[in-house]
């Protein structure tokens, strides 16, 4: 199913199908297909080429290049922006897996720069300081696939309507506290289950209620899932956290760069990858969770939460 603006092709077990051949639709379908190849994988935030190599050796399917931990910048009252292109190029040269990088919400020029230097995915990230508090990037204008965050179904479908090829939860990045990511995944999954029980006639009103494109709402109802891959992000700090998000229905997980602050980042990174791969096997999960000298300390959400409030239409 696709509308005249070129929304995503139907998600299925095989390749995406296009109802009407079109250059724009084929490009978007290809971007969705690229993101689908990451299913069942772990994406790790890295701040150096050395960390990127550790992530690749641990089995990560991709890395997210970050110059500074955005949560740290926000806590200090600074402005978090796109990473230095030189760092991103160094990370790309260091690994053979996919490399992602973050652009500020609405900052299409940062996205243009990231695409020009050859990143594999652009993350229009709410953890960076927003450049535009009313408008997101028109992702249909880019060849690079985009990743966007959501906290509910309406927000997810709005971002897909704008051209996002992958959706992730927002969680609370850098806190080591997975509660927000869990809440957001359950919100999306619960809304989809409710949508599945609706008559087709009810979908019109529901789409208006959640401020999402009707065609995408109907497509989600028919599929019983989002039309693109959905990853968990924000607060995933342990192998058990990663397995929890997979069992809740996510297609993969993002792991914060805080994992590299531990005494044994190599072992911890491998443990998270193993937990995602074997997320339904408690015995393996117990083995990979054993023997770490210390857990990530974590941050109380009451201490870390910002005054940011996000709706499907933007920031308020």
Residue pointed to by tokens 């450049």: 131
43 within 8 A of 100, measured Cβ to Cβ: yes
The answer to whether 142 touches 122, Cβ cutoff 8 Å, is yes
β-bridge mates for residue 42, sequence order: 253
104 DSSP 8-state letter: E
Residues 157 and 221: beta-carbon distance below 8 Å: no
Closest CA to 72 of 95, 47, 90, 51: 47
First to last CA, the chain: 32
Please confirm, yes or no, whether 102 is among the known catalytic residues.
yes
Question: Quick one: which of 92, 139, 138 has its CA closest to 118?
Answer: 92
Q: What does the angle CA 265 – CA 269 – CA 275 come to, to the nearest 5 degrees? A: 145
Distance CA 32, CA 79 (A): 31
Based on the number of CB atoms within 10 Å of its own CB, is 223 exposed (0-12), middle (13-18) or buried (19 or more)?
A: middle
- CA distance linking residue 239 with residue 267, whole number of Å: 11
**Residue in 23, 31, 92, 102 annotated catalytic:** 102
Distance, in Å, from the CA atom of 264 to the CA atom of 2, rounded to the nearest integer, reads: 47
The C-alpha atoms of residue 140 and residue 143 are separated, in whole angstroms, by: 8
Contact 261, 199 (CB under 8 A): no
Q: Are 44 and 63 spatial neighbours (Cβ–Cβ below 8 Å)?
A: yes
Closest residue by Cα to residue 260 from 82, 40, 39, 49: 49
Annotated catalytic residues are 102
């Amino acid at each position: 199913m696709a509308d005249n603006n070129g929304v995503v092709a139907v998600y299925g077990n095989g390749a995406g199908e296009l109802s009407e051949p079109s250059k724009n639709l084929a490009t978007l379908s290809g971007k969705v297909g690229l993101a689908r190849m990451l299913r069942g994988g772990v994406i790790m935030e890295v701040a150096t080429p050395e960390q990127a190599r550790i992530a690749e050796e641990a089995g990560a399917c991709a890395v997210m290049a970050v110059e500074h931990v955005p949560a740290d910048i926000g806590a200090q009252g600074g402005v978090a922006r796109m990473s230095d292109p030189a760092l991103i190029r160094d990370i790309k040269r260091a690994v053979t897996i996919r490399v992602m990088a973050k652009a500020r919400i609405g900052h299409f020029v940062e996205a243009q720069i990231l695409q020009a230097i050859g990143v594999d995915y652009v993350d229009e990230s709410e953890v960076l300081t927003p450049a535009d508090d009313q408008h997101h990037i028109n992702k249909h204008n880019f060849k690079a696939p985009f990743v966007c965050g959501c906290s509910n179904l309406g927000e997810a479908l709005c971002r897909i309507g704008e051209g996002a090829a992958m959706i992730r939860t927002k969680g609370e990045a850098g806190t080591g506290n997975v509660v927000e990511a869990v809440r957001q995944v359950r919100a999306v999954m619960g809304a989809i289950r409710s949508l599945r029980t609706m008559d087709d006639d009810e979908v019109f009103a529901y789409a208006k209620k959640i401020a999402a494109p009707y065609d995408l709402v109907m497509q989600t109802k028919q599929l019983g899932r989002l039309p693109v891959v959905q990853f968990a992000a924000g607060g995933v700090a342990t192998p058990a956290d990663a397995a929890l998000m997979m069992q809740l229905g996510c297609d993969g997980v993002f792991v914060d760069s805080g994992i590299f602050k531990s005494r044994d980042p190599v072992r911890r990174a491998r443990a998270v990858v193993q937990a995602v791969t074997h997320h339904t096997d408690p015995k393996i999960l117990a083995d990979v969770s054993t023997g770490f000298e210390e857990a990530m300390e974590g941050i109380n959400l009451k201490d870390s939460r910002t005054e940011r409030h996000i709706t499907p239409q933007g920031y308020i």
